[in-house]
Chain A
Amino acid sequence: MKILLVGNPNVGKSVVFSRLTGVHVLSSNYPGTTVGYTRGFIRFKNEQSAVIDVPGTYTLDPTCEAEKVARDMLEEGDVIINVVDATNLERNLYLTFQLLERNIPMVIALNLWDETKHRGVHIDLDKLREELGVPIIPTVAVTGEGMKQLVDALPQAEAPAHTARNSEERWKAVGHVIDQVQHITHRHHTWRERISDASVRPLSGGIIAFAVLAGIFLGVRFISESIIQYAMDPLFNRLWAPVILRLSDLMGGSGLLHDIIVGSIGSSEINFVESFGLLTSGLYVPFAMVLPYILSFYLALGILEDSGYLPRLAVMVDTLMHRFGLHGYAIIPTMLGFGCNVPGIMASRVLESERERFIVATLISIAVPCASLQAMIFGLVGARGGRYVILVYGVLLAVWLVLGFILRRAVKGFKPELLIEIPPYRLPSLPTVIKKLLVRIRGFIVEAVPIVLGAVLVVNILYSFGIFNAIADAVSPVVTTLLGLPKESTAALAIGFLRKDVALGMLAPLELTAGQLVVGSVVLAMFFPCIATFIVLLRELGFSGLLKSTGIMVLAALLTGGILNLILN
């Protein structure tokens, strides 16, 4: 038995899904949060039934990849829960009618029911039920209101015989229903609408965009550094260091096993970044350096996502993005990429053309450093002075701009225009924001930390067998001459394929000049994607797209690194 959650974008399908199944999926206040396949289970008619969160779509005649996914999923549904935005009934009913023509038993969740009151929308539920012929349950998914009734109504799901219509007939039918059931009273502009209008006007919108982005950057940095300074560093230096020193003693202070587990440490002091043992750097890098940034970045992103600001930012940057052959909505995958490139590249599915998806995915994997790498840049490069951090970001921004211009000319295909719905501003609810944050942190701990530990292990083993030296000798002309980095940093560039945070950590003990560290950070950020990004690029762009994208990456990284080396060293 398969139950499908179907509806327009941004009507709350993912929130209904989380409520029904207890499976936490990411939800936000912008159209296109869900682009893939998520499912959970509920008990229905005494059997385990799958509930599938289908990506939002306005129509069953798809216009983008995510909508195609939605239409194809319909084929396998036994029951549909059509989630409808009660404040936007007319537009939502168009899809409802298309669904009814499919003759699959259906129930309607009339979501955002609470918002109808202050929006002056009055809906006659009994009449609506009569007109459509299926059960209708008013719901407020964020608070859970109506969820029990929705589940109880599932057995009464009905497939009234609606005949197939063309779009004109369908709109006529929708219009007829709206005349019968909906009545809108006049109301005044609310403060939210005033801010909403201001945030898309050229001048005020520009100021707001700048303030929001600067606020996020400074806020994330402040929160992360506070966590590191007041919680993580004391924890490692005061509590963990004595344990490690003791362990090192017990293991005799040297040997292969000692170096793998504890790393190279002094007799009384531990440099947690440089020692490179599983229990020293292997834990310190992911938990004390990276996790604080993951936590604060995703806290900020979560609030931003749920507020509804992102589509407005898309409008503001649209003119700029057009210079790249993209439209403004590409800013959303890009913003997600600053957390982790993987969800960023996946989110590019909301864009319509293959050309756009290629450009966005390539730009993200080259010029958008993920939170893990950024944390290390702040930690290591920041120690040499804030201006070097600014330099790294400045260079990456310049690469993003220049490469965007080039890709727009080089990649052929359809150049679409922005056409999006802008959701109303909503105050993010604290429990939802925290739940979402926990899902993402859990993702980091479960997926990233094991790879960090694996990378540290691999580094130690390869070093002890002298394999890195062999690689370093082979490519040293490129690394030493072109990039001006010591031969030993080749190992770091190679490990960048596993984890870029670990790779940057490997540069720490090499006693690089600040300029070399900047070159190293920029090249690491741009050069070759990490393995997780590599896999998602393969999946989203196909093999030839991946090859092209990777080729551009390697070329751009070497070129930028070479130029930087000439200027700085």
Chain B
Amino acid sequence: MKEEKEEKKEKIVTAAGMIAGQSGAVLSVDGGHTLLGRLEALGIRPGKRLRKVNSSFMQGPAVFDVEGCSIAIGFGMANRIQVKIDS
């Protein structure tokens, strides 16, 4: 329990691992030039704030609110986005 509390202070997960309703800031995207470019074009780049809208089921896509704009991201891509969850 104690460990969990400490973790909460600075919790880093992938966007795919976020729980519905959680918010956080994008830390980095692990991917090639193409993926980075495509995500960037939709406004997802380091520093941007995300809120997860739905929880994906069966590794389906998840929907994120990015500064008032809804973006659906496939599971594999979301797995490559590192997010620092708000404490």
Taking beta carbons and an 8 Å cutoff, which residues of A are in contact with B? 58-59, 61, 63, 87-88, 90-91, 94, 119, 167, 171, 184, 196-197, 200-202, 205, 311, 314-315, 318-319, 322, 327-328, 416-424
Taking beta carbons and an 8 Å cutoff, which residues of B are in contact with A? 20, 34, 37-43, 45, 53-61, 63, 67-77
* Contacting pair A417 B70 (CB below 8 A): no
* Contacting pair B42 A171 (CB below 8 A): no
* Contacting pair B54 A200 (CB below 8 A): yes
Given A201-B54, A315-B61, A418–B72 Cβ distance below 8 Å? Answer: yes
- Complex Cα distance A314/B70, Å? 13
* Contacting pair A88 B71 (CB below 8 A): no
- Complex Cα distance A322/B58, Å? 11
Partner of B54, one of A94, A197, A327: A197
CB distance from B47 to the nearest CB of A (A): 9
Partner of A419, one of B57, B59, B60, B73: B73
Given A88-B69, A421-B69, A422-B70, A319–B60 Cβ distance below 8 Å? Answer: yes
* Contacting pair A90 B71 (CB below 8 A): no
Given A200-B53, A419-B38, A319–B72 Cβ distance below 8 Å? Answer: no
Q: Which residue of A lies closest to B47 (CB)?
A: A175
* Contacting pair B20 A419 (CB below 8 A): no
Q: Which residue of B lies closest to A63 (CB)?
A: B38
* Contacting pair B59 A421 (CB below 8 A): no
Complex contacts, B59 vs chain A, CB 8 Å: 319
CB distance from A81 to the nearest CB of B (A): 20
Q: List 16 A-B contacts (CB under 8 A).
A: A58-B38, A58-B42, A61-B37, A196-B70, A315-B54, A315-B61, A318-B61, A318-B74, A319-B57, A328-B72, A416-B74, A417-B73, A417-B77, A419-B73, A420-B71, A421-B72
CB distance from B38 to the nearest CB of A (A): 6
Q: Which residue of A lies closest to B66 (CB)?
A: A91
Q: Which residue of A lies closest to B73 (CB)?
A: A419
Given A88-B69, A94-B41, A315-B61, A201–B55 Cβ distance below 8 Å? Answer: yes
Complex contacts, A314 vs chain B, CB 8 Å: 72
Complex contacts, A322 vs chain B, CB 8 Å: 60
Complex contacts, A416 vs chain B, CB 8 Å: 74
* Contacting pair A59 B37 (CB below 8 A): yes
- Complex Cα distance A119/B65, Å? 14
* Contacting pair B34 A63 (CB below 8 A): yes
* Contacting pair B43 A90 (CB below 8 A): yes
CB distance from B72 to the nearest CB of A (A): 5
Q: A58-B42, A88-B43, A201-B54 are in contact. List 16 more A-B contacts (CB 8 A).
A: A59-B41, A87-B68, A91-B41, A167-B37, A171-B40, A196-B70, A202-B54, A311-B72, A315-B60, A315-B72, A322-B60, A327-B61, A328-B72, A417-B74, A419-B73, A422-B70
- Closest 4 pairs between A and B when the two form their complex, measured CB to CB: A417-B74, A58-B41, A422-B70, A319-B60
Given A90-B67, A91-B42, A418–B73 Cβ distance below 8 Å? Answer: yes
Complex contacts, B54 vs chain A, CB 8 Å: 197, 200-202, 205, 315
CB distance from A118 to the nearest CB of B (A): 12
- Complex Cα distance A319/B41, Å? 24
* Contacting pair B40 A167 (CB below 8 A): yes
Q: Which residue of A lies closest to B21 (CB)?
A: A197
* Contacting pair A418 B61 (CB below 8 A): yes
- Complex Cα distance A416/B34, Å? 12
Complex contacts, A196 vs chain B, CB 8 Å: 70
Q: Which residue of B lies closest to A206 (CB)?
A: B57
Residue among A90, A91, A322 with most chain B CB within 10 A: A91
Given A63-B34, A201-B54, A205-B54, A419–B77 Cβ distance below 8 Å? Answer: yes
* Contacting pair B42 A63 (CB below 8 A): no
Complex contacts, A94 vs chain B, CB 8 Å: 40-41
* Contacting pair B63 A422 (CB below 8 A): yes
Partner of A417, one of B42, B55, B67, B76: B76
* Contacting pair A421 B20 (CB below 8 A): no
Complex contacts, B76 vs chain A, CB 8 Å: 417
Complex contacts, B73 vs chain A, CB 8 Å: 417-419
- Complex Cα distance A44/B10, Å? 59
